[in-house]
């Protein structure tokens, strides 16, 4: 597939980056990518094309669930940033499988892959410190799908010699991704004696880590990508409730909490692990914008969201 006329005009000889997953994190990363790469963004909906073009990328229409539409992506890119979620109706990740098969069939194969996975691949570690070397034992379908995708990209690396970087992310938050609706609804969380430390990452910082990971060369490497907070879920929710002048959530023992929240919420709440991010700090040259929740809550972004929330209320 030829690039759009004029797309390369006046641009340096940048490598070509294929972004798969036209979502929030990719959008946040784009300003730091367009000065380093020719950026192609895969999108499914026609209305997305105008936004990505305005941000300096070339939108390419393709559907990860339609193998024929993926053929146009073969041979285009030097690097791939994959942020798309798995198909939740499948037990594995057929989307990664289809794309990887297409990408490795051409003589020109991407040399670097960055994949956003989930810390859910570790399963429930009962609050134990969890480095990247901890065994992966997902006990949710969500975690199993992501682990399958990781294995597919590892296989791609072994077959092609590409560098693959896996970013295992916990819960992602931002000013427009806060649990304000949950707090207003009075959704409970665990009592303090049954609550455990958890990890999160601000979407802006995850975007910065994606950019840094694209610069990594050689082999396969996993990173726990999280901030430096070790707040339990209840503490995290309490801090947000206080900042936005909302009622703190009620607390319940696990035996009652399991039936008081949705199955999806319980699948997150019942798992507990404490991610260790020393490798991230040592090897990915990123100064986190929000190393703690307090850093975010004290920021202008949190204040803007507070004003917007008050206006909406």
16-175+199-230+273-290 carries CATH number 3.40.640.10: no
Cα distance between residue 139 and residue 288, in whole Å: 30
310 — pLDDT class (breaks 50, 70, 90): low
Beta bridge partners of 82: 20, 115
Spatial neighbors of 142 by CB under 8 A, at least 6 apart, are: 88, 118, 120, 267
Q: pLDDT digit string (tens) for 71-108?
A: 999 999 999 999 999 988 777 899 999 999 999 987 78
HSE-CB at 104 with a 13 A cutoff on CA atoms is 19
- Using CA atoms, how far residue 304 sits from 67, 172, 262, 295, 297, in Å, is 42, 19, 30, 14, 11
Per-residue pLDDT reduced to its tens digit, 196-246: 889 999 999 999 999 999 999 889 999 999 999 989 999 999 999 999 999
Whether residue 42 contacts residue 19, with contact meaning beta carbons closer than 8 Å, is answered with: yes
In what helix (H) or strand (E) does residue 252 lie, and over which residues does it extend? strand 251-252
What's the pTM value of the predicted model, to 2 decimals? 0.92
CA 181 to chain centre: 22
What backbone torsions phi and psi does residue 181 show, to the nearest 5 degrees? -65, -40
């Amino acid at each position: 597939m030829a690039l759009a006329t004029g797309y390369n005009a006046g641009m340096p000889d940048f490598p070509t980056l294929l972004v798969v997953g036209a979502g929030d994190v990719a959008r946040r990363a784009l300003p730091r990518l367009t000065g380093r790469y020719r950026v192609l963004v895969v999108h499914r909906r026609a209305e997305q094309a105008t936004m990505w073009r305005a941000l300096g990328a070339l939108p390419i229409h393709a559907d990860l669930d339609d193998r024929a539409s993926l053929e146009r992506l073969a041979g285009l890119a030097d690097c791939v940033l994959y942020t798309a979620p798995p198909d939740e109706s499948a037990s594995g990740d057929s989307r990664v499988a289809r794309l990887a098969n297409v990408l490795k069939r051409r003589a020109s194969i991407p040399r670097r892959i960055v994949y956003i996975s989930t810390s859910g691949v570790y399963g429930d570690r009962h609050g134990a410190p969890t480095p990247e070397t901890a065994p992966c034992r997902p006990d949710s379908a969500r975690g199993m799908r992501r682990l399958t995708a990781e294995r597919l990209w590892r296989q791609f690396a072994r077959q092609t010699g590409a560098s693959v970087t896996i970013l295992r992310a916990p819960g992602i938050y931002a000013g427009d991704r806060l649990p304000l609706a949950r707090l207003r609804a009075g959704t409970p969380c665990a009592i303090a004696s049954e609550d455990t430390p958890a990890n999160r990452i601000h979407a802006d910082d995850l975007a910065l880590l994606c950019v840094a990971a694209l610069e990594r060369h050689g082999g396969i490497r996993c990173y726990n990508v999280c901030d430096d907070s070790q707040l339990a879920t209840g503490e995290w929710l309490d801090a947000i409730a206080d900042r936005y002048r909302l009622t703190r959530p009620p607390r319940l023992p696990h035996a009652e909490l399991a039936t008081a929240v949705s199955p999806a919420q319980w699948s997150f709440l019942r798992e507990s692990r404490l991610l260790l991010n020393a490798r991230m700090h040592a090897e990915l040259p990123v100064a986190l914008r929000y190393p703690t929740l307090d850093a975010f809550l004290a920021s202008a972004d949190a204040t803007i969201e507070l004003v917007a929330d008050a206006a909406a209320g």
